[in-house]
Amino acid sequence: MLFNRSIKIAPSILAADFANFGAECRAVEAQGADWVHIDVMDGHFVPNLTFGAAMCAALRPHISGVMDVHLMIAPVDPQIDAFALAGADIITAHLEAGPHIHRTLQAIRGAGKKAGLALNPGTGLDAVEQLLDLTDLICVMTVNPGFGGQSFIASQLGKISNLHRMIGDRPIHIEVDGGVTSTTAPLAVAAGADVLVAGSAVFIGGSVQNPLPYGHNIRTIRAAAEAALG
Ligand code: DX5
Ligand code: ZN
């Protein structure tokens, strides 16, 4: 994975057809997705349950690009090796998921993967400064994690700007996750985000049998986002 700050659209398969995940991953990539975002939830850290490392391993052959795995689980550390073996490129853990996020990020890098750090909307940036040297991506949640289809929390835009300033020249992606649409994407990009996770806004109107709306939706979000770069 080479680092750059170009806009990347990462469809979240949380909004895909759960009976068709492999085909859905192939369809969004064929329609222009840059990364595929996989939301792992444990019914404990967040109030919803999705799937685990075995599903990621099963999907790996269906994703030719970057597999971006967002772990909404606690504890995280006992699961890291399983997600690494499953073929994740990026493994993102929540700062709020336990007392030892520093160790968690070390362990992800130790497993040979890019380390992501996710921040809930209620979490400030104070603790992030100590973690920058261990982090390849910071995911700013613009909804409270657990469910797709929620509204973008605009108060997070100031946090993204401050984070962008804090990161400076470091090769750290800023990902925004939750409520991303062609209306909110440009706001996030103007504040400094380069990776846009979008579930509902990508999958709406399409299906494996009729994937062209995915392409339309991805192009619409990308065009709006790139316009914000000026
Ligand atoms: C929320 C997940 C998001 C979610 C985004 O907990 O982390 O990735 O699927 O979904 P939309 O784009 O529908 O808000
Ligand atoms: Zn996510």
pLDDT at 230: 78
| Pocket of ligand 1 contains residue 178 by CB under 6 Å | yes
Ligand 2: distance of its center to the CA of 55 in Å? 16
- If residue 85 lies in a helix (H) or strand (E), which one and from where to where? helix 80-85
DSSP-assigned letter for residue 132: G
Binding site membership of 192 for ligand 1 (Cβ less than 6 Å): no
Q: Which amino acid is at 96?
A: E
Strands of 144-229, DSSP E: 173-177, 195-198
Task: Indicate whether residue 195 lines ligand 1 (CB < 6 A).
Answer: no
**How many Å lie between the centroid of ligand 1 and the Cα of residue 148?**
4
Give the Cα separation of 112 and 130 in Å (integer).
21
Q: CA 196 to CA 224: how far, in whole Å?
A: 12
pLDDT at 1: 83
Structure tokens at 21: 């995940």
Cα–ligand 1 centroid distance for 82 (angstroms)? 23
Q: What is the pLDDT of residue 99?
A: 94
**Can you give the pLDDT of all 230 residues of the chain as single tens digits?**
889 999 999 999 999 999 999 999 999 999 999 999 999 999 999 999 999 999 999 999 999 999 999 999 999 999 999 999 999 999 999 999 999 999 999 999 999 999 999 999 999 999 999 999 999 999 999 999 999 999 999 999 999 999 999 999 999 999 999 999 999 999 999 999 999 999 999 999 999 999 999 999 999 999 999 999 97
- Total-model pTM: 0.98
Contact criterion met (CB below 8 Å) for 225 and 185: yes
